[in-house]
Structure 1
Amino acid sequence: MNSKRLLITGVGPGTGAAIVRRFADGGYDVAMVARNEQRLKKIESEIRGTKAFPVDVTDSASFAETLDRIFGDFGPPDVVIHNAVGGAFGNFLQIDPAILERNFHVNVTAFLALARRVAPAMIEAGAGAIIATGNTSALRGKSNFAGFAPTKAAQRILAEAIARELGPKGIHVAYLVIDAVIDVEWTRAARPDAPDDFFILPADIAGELWHVAHQPRSAWSFYLEVRPFKETW
């Protein structure tokens, strides 16, 4: 096993897989969490030092058991990235409240459970990094994002509360806002006429997360934004 370990939730074909590859290339063993076991197993077969832990993070009991298994198989992680995301489109009259509740569970409750599980070992070690990936829904409540934005805003505030608690104990907590359309197959299909520089590349997001996870203690960031150079903001 390598000397460093990453635990990441929400490993999909875009950003999640790119993060896994970047940290594996950087010498980390990577514990991958997502619902899709087939996808995780494929990545596991392609990238050395990775291991699949399929689970739905909204199943609190199963998620807790999976985290215990990761600690048993890998040991405590040095870096944790909560990339799992629950989203939905619709205004407040259209959304099903149950969808909002599920999104809250993915974006906030699972992040809380994850941070609570990994923090004690990091506190004992006096080091570690916990990072959540967000988007501009964490900053503003647009009409069509009523079932999504409230949960991402809560996630951002939770991350800040965790950062204020753990920072003085030597643990770096950060929140990365991705203000962009991520370059994956379904976003390309939805915008077939968009130029290449309209999209943000998953590998570049992963590169920024690598940078944040390895910032020197004298210059830690908490809140960061990334966007393509042409993005209006």
Structure 2
Amino acid sequence: MPSTKPLALVTGVGPGTGASVARRFAEGGYRVAMLARDADRLAALEAEIPDSIACPCDVTDLAALEGVLARVGAPKVVVHNAVGGAFGSFRDIDPSVLQRNFEINTMALMHLARLTTPAMVEAGDGALIVTGNTSAQRGKAFFAGFAPTKAAQRILAESIARDLGPKGVHVAYLIIDAVIDVPWQRERMKDAPDDFFISPASIAGEVFHLAHQPRDAWAFLAEVRPFHEPW
């Protein structure tokens, strides 16, 4: 018998934020379609998370995105968490890296919105949540291959929000102003105290909250950071 649970589609399901978002929506009563390029990791998560669906997919491949949606159906919530990043000045970064990051961060959002939100508009309900960071608001010298794509992503999300909000679809952009607590960051910052980091579970909780805000109090731009983070 087909499931009656609503569907959440999450891109960028890695071992940190993406996996935690998938778990949170599963706990909240959703089927969860998990998109990432690592098929083995998705298979392991599918075995762990009830009602989850492993969908190996490169979000820059429009045909692959269309194939996933044909398989899983129309989502009630979409979380675009896939991210392409790079560090270096404009002199150091190969222009192709900037182009690739633009495809992941910005164009994939465009494609996802075009593919998934018409059904939300028809239903008069749904949410599109995008995870971002402070690079969406400022262009530091060493982030030339990354920040321009996140800034474009934020502005695109705002344009989509202004279009879809009056039609009953909530679009929000979550800025994560923190170092995410994943093993490679712990290894890189061995002397940092526990409260220096933000946990993926805390991020996932805020994503879930944004997707379920009451209609009379929708937020577009939200920010999360540890309590002592300077900003």
Matched residues in 2 for 1:46 and 1:97: separation?
39
* 1:185-224 superposed matches below 5 A: 185-224=183-222
Larger mean CA deviation between 148-157 and 49-58 belongs to 49-58
Q: Is 2:139 the partner of 1:137?
A: no
Which SS does the other structure have where 2:69 is aligned? helix
* 1:1-233 superposed matches below 5 A: 1-71=3-73, 76-233=74-231
Alpha-carbon deviation of 1:83?
A: 0.2
Contact 1:6 1:78 survives alignment (8 Å): yes
Which SS does the other structure have where 2:47 is aligned? helix
Matched residues in 2 for 1:102 and 1:61: separation?
17
Alpha-carbon deviation of 1:67?
A: 2.6
Which SS does the other structure have where 2:140 is aligned? coil
AA aligned to 2:39 is E
Residue-pair matches, total: 229
Alpha-carbon deviation of 1:5?
A: 1.2
Which SS does the other structure have where 1:175 is aligned? strand
Matched residues in 2 for 1:94 and 1:63: separation?
32
Alpha-carbon deviation of 1:63?
A: 2.5
Alpha-carbon deviation of 1:66?
A: 2.2
Which segments of 5 or more consecutive residues in structure 1 lack a partner in the other structure? Answer: none
Matched residues in 2 for 1:167 and 1:103: separation?
27
Matched residues in 2 for 1:34 and 1:50: separation?
13
Root-mean-square deviation (Å): 0.8
Which SS does the other structure have where 2:104 is aligned? helix
Alpha-carbon deviation of 1:2?
A: 4.2
Alpha-carbon deviation of 1:64?
A: 2.5
Which SS does the other structure have where 1:131 is aligned? strand
Contact 1:2 1:29 survives alignment (8 Å): no
**For 1:9-59, what per-residue CA distance to the aligned partner results, in whole angstroms no more than 9, with x for missing partners?**
000000001111111011110000000000000000011110100011122
Which SS does the other structure have where 1:210 is aligned? helix
What TM-score, normalized to structure 1?
Answer: 0.97
Contact 1:2 1:28 survives alignment (8 Å): no
AA aligned to 2:69 is L
Contact 1:107 1:155 survives alignment (8 Å): yes
Larger mean CA deviation between 51-60 and 97-106 belongs to 51-60
AA aligned to 1:58 is T
Contact 1:122 1:171 survives alignment (8 Å): yes
AA aligned to 2:55 is F
Matched residues in 2 for 1:232 and 1:2: separation?
44
